[in-house]
Copies of this chain bind each other. A is one copy, B any other.
Amino acid sequence: MARAGTTATAHGQFSTPAFMSVGTSGAVKAMTAEDLEQSGVEIMLANTYHLYLRPGEKLIKAKGGLAKFTGWNKPTLTDSGGFQIFSMRDLSKIDDEGATFRSHHDGSLHRLFPEKVMEIQRDIGADIIMSFDQCVGYPALREQAAEGARRTFDWARKGLIHFKQLEEAMPSYMALFGIVQGSTYTDLRRISAEQIVGLGFPGYALGGLAVGESKAEMEDMLAFTIQFLPANKPRYLMGVGYPEDILMAVSYGVDMFDCVLPTRNARTGMVFTSEGPLVFRNAGYMDDDRPLDPNCGCRVCQRYSRAYIRHLYNQKEITALVLASFHSSYFYQDLMRKIRNSIENNVFNTFRKEFLNKYSRGEKMADRE
């Protein structure tokens, strides 16, 4: 069911399956737009919650929208803020109409609801924008999961109506995607998928996964739910994930991914390599002449040794974070390129097996350190 293609936007096209780099506040942490390009990134995700609070959607609109404001000038996507409200739930309160929350900056009170989220995202101006949804944690009681799915549908409907009105008044280049929720309950997932698909979006996301459930549960939910998503529309698995998760999800026909893992882990001393995760900050690499990944073609791996990057990391040098983030970003994009090539050549399953065989051997080595 794996599939490869390209998606066109007003800011250029991106190839799928795509891994979107997460530029929370309009920049991927420790990376420049040049770094994104050079590491092969084709589409950047930014967080509506963060941009709404700082610098504010009106400023971004005045600056020509997200792509122009950030100097990235290529395809972008914004999430809806639903996930951030879920993940900062100590600061927020959700009701049927929307969410009230306090800013993590200054404690100021804010209210988000479906129509407002459309207006904010229209101002930010990403190529792809997302419906306002309610994500529930794992594990979730059935009632909670049902309530989240119900609100997600209600908010998607309200948001879509408002988005269409906004588009009629002032047409844009933006595409609004729907999000399916339902936690780990197959019947809820099915209802949510059928409801959201019934509204008619140009693309669909699977939300509420990668929130603590096991890999087996994630796969079960994905395998079950994706059958209700139309094959002729992009499918986006939100917040995923590890290389093995991406390979699994691609095998079911997922087209888009996003995750902070490559850059967040780089900043805590771990990079992804063809031989598995490498905790490069470890003392065992003090004397290691090899690049982060001996099989990697990125400019960091052409120039710097583990010994050097480890030394910089231990001296708290920003440069270490820059180098490690670049490598892991490249590694993810290189993986996506290889996935797309393997699909085009009808050898995806072989590629997946070979990749994981090498990758998980390295993982075991990392565990032993």
Report if A59 contacts B (CB, 8 A).
yes
Once A54-B314, A55-B286 are accepted as A-B contacts, the answer to whether A70 and B26 lie under 8 Å apart by CB is no
Distance A52 CA – B361 CA, assembled complex (angstroms): 37
Report if A287 contacts B (CB, 8 A).
yes
> Smallest distance from the beta carbon of A348 to chain B beta carbons, Å?
34
Q: Are B25 and A322 in contact (CB under 8 A)?
A: no
Distance A131 CA – B303 CA, assembled complex (angstroms): 31
Report if A311 contacts B (CB, 8 A).
yes
Q: Are B29 and A317 in contact (CB under 8 A)?
A: yes
Q: Are B308 and A69 in contact (CB under 8 A)?
A: yes
Q: Which of A241-297 contact B (CB under 8 A)?
A: 286-287, 289
1/0 contact trace for A25-58 toward B, CB 8 Å? 1111111111000000000000000100011000
Distance A305 CA – B63 CA, assembled complex (angstroms): 10
> Smallest distance from the beta carbon of A253 to chain B beta carbons, Å?
34
Distance A116 CA – B32 CA, assembled complex (angstroms): 42
Taking a contact as CB atoms closer than 8 A, the residue among B30, B62, B71, B322 that contacts A304 in the complex is B71
Tell me which residues across on chain B come within 8 A of A317, comparing CB atoms. Answer: 25, 27, 29
> Smallest distance from the beta carbon of A182 to chain B beta carbons, Å?
34
Interface residue tally for chain A (C-beta within 8 Å): 39
Tell me which residues across on chain B come within 8 A of A305, comparing CB atoms. Answer: 63, 69, 71
Q: Are B318 and A63 in contact (CB under 8 A)?
A: no
Report if A299 contacts B (CB, 8 A).
yes
Distance A326 CA – B31 CA, assembled complex (angstroms): 13
Report if A357 contacts B (CB, 8 A).
no
Report if A312 contacts B (CB, 8 A).
yes
Report if A307 contacts B (CB, 8 A).
yes
Q: Are A33 and B303 in contact (CB under 8 A)?
A: yes
Report if A124 contacts B (CB, 8 A).
no
Once A55-B307, A63-B305 are accepted as A-B contacts, the answer to whether A26 and B71 lie under 8 Å apart by CB is no
Integer count of this chain's copies in the complex: 2
Q: Are B287 and A62 in contact (CB under 8 A)?
A: yes
Report if A108 contacts B (CB, 8 A).
no
Distance A322 CA – B30 CA, assembled complex (angstroms): 7
> Smallest distance from the beta carbon of A342 to chain B beta carbons, Å?
31
Report if A221 contacts B (CB, 8 A).
no
Once A59-B286, A315-B54, A318-B318 are accepted as A-B contacts, the answer to whether A71 and B308 lie under 8 Å apart by CB is yes
Report if A323 contacts B (CB, 8 A).
yes
Tell me which residues across on chain B come within 8 A of A50, comparing CB atoms. Answer: 315
Q: Are A26 and B311 in contact (CB under 8 A)?
A: yes
Tell me which residues across on chain B come within 8 A of A27, comparing CB atoms. Answer: 312, 317, 319-320
Q: Are B311 and A322 in contact (CB under 8 A)?
A: no
Once A25-B315, A317-B27 are accepted as A-B contacts, the answer to whether A308 and B34 lie under 8 Å apart by CB is no
Q: Which of A48-96 contact B (CB under 8 A)?
A: 50, 54-55, 59, 62-63, 69-71
Greatest chain B CB density within 10 A among A50, A59, A314, A315 is at A315
Q: Are B26 and A308 in contact (CB under 8 A)?
A: yes
Distance A119 CA – B13 CA, assembled complex (angstroms): 57
Distance A276 CA – B71 CA, assembled complex (angstroms): 24
Tell me which residues across on chain B come within 8 A of A63, comparing CB atoms. Answer: 289, 305, 307-308
Taking a contact as CB atoms closer than 8 A, the residue among B31, B34, B286, B319 that contacts A30 in the complex is B319
Q: Are B312 and A322 in contact (CB under 8 A)?
A: no
> Smallest distance from the beta carbon of A290 to chain B beta carbons, Å?
12
